[in-house]
Chain A
């Protein structure tokens, strides 16, 4: 079984090398681990830093958003015949040890999509982020009828079947909710696994801004009404 870890990255030169080096080289139940960074039109040295870590790098010439970059990475993984595809944020908010945890249900054929939920350990999340995520989860539920304890998590695992069926159109953070909608549409088995969250001042500054919530909601509405 082959796994691919996809890291969408935008201006992450300060941390990307360290994060790539911390990723597991071997995973239980997996014979080969591929790592790919999708440099999403970064203006800093993310591209060279990622290449220095001896991983595959795909580079968007323009910044298209985290959703678009993730989709590019998933596309690459499918082309490289990965059986399990993991998406992992490049800002250092996830614990690399959680990768094994989220791919296990896929290896065991218990799920098609696994979401690393940061919400199940609420104490690790700052209160404003908790509220923002709660709002995002609620919006995802109202608009799409899908409930997730962490609809915005970047740490996810997809089976080959899920990767081939899920087809997203949204390019930015709203992509996270769209994946859930697609999973529901194709009747895929979605599982949530509690994972750690490392909120450093760096990852907080890099992540979603609290004020982004309304434009995201507007785009999700347009997706429904168009």
Chain B
């Protein structure tokens, strides 16, 4: 028999999985990224429906409880994802700068002094 927390989490994970599938269909997510998220959510699904697996995992890693090992893995993963997002934002900023630079260099305002000397040369 499922407990109420299991039911709530189950509904949430099914919702999250449906979002992954939708974004994949819209081609917003690449196949690799969608695959990564599907694995994450299926792992969470297994952990919720078969809590004994997390205890086995905890035993394997030498951690006391199943819940603890989940928290440790989740935190590590979250920190890594935040870092990846930070790098991605920096890359985006860099790309914006490149575009702004490109446009700016095409529209240089020439000093009137130089224009005059060029006209004289002609």
Say whether A and B bind each other.
Answer: yes
- What's the minimum C-beta distance from B17 to chain A, rounded to whole angstroms? 31
Q: Are B114 and A75 in contact (CB under 8 A)?
A: no
Contact with B along A68-102 (1 / 0, CB 8 A): 10011001100100000000000000000000000
Count CB-based A-B contacts (< 8 Å).
61
CB-CB < 8 A to B93: which residues of A? 171
Q: Which residue of A lies closest to B110 (CB)?
A: A56
Contact of A68 among B97, B105, B109, B112 (CB under 8 A): B97
CB-CB < 8 A to A47: which residues of B? 109
- What's the minimum C-beta distance from A102 to chain B, rounded to whole angstroms? 23
Contact of B105 among A41, A76, A219 (CB under 8 A): A76
CB-CB < 8 A to A62: which residues of B? 96, 100
Interface size class of B (residues with CB under 8 A): 20 to 34
Cα–Cα distance between A51 and B94 once the two chains are bound (Å)? 28
Contact A64 B109, CB 8 Å, known A219-B90, A222-B87? no
Q: Are B100 and A75 in contact (CB under 8 A)?
A: no
Q: Are A75 and B101 in contact (CB under 8 A)?
A: yes
Does A54 have its Cβ within 8 Å of any Cβ on chain B?
yes
| Given A64-B97, A64-B101, 18 extra CB contacts under 8 A | A51-B109, A54-B113, A56-B109, A56-B111, A57-B108, A57-B109, A58-B104, A58-B109, A59-B104, A59-B109, A60-B101, A68-B97, A68-B101, A71-B101, A72-B104, A76-B105, A169-B94, A219-B90
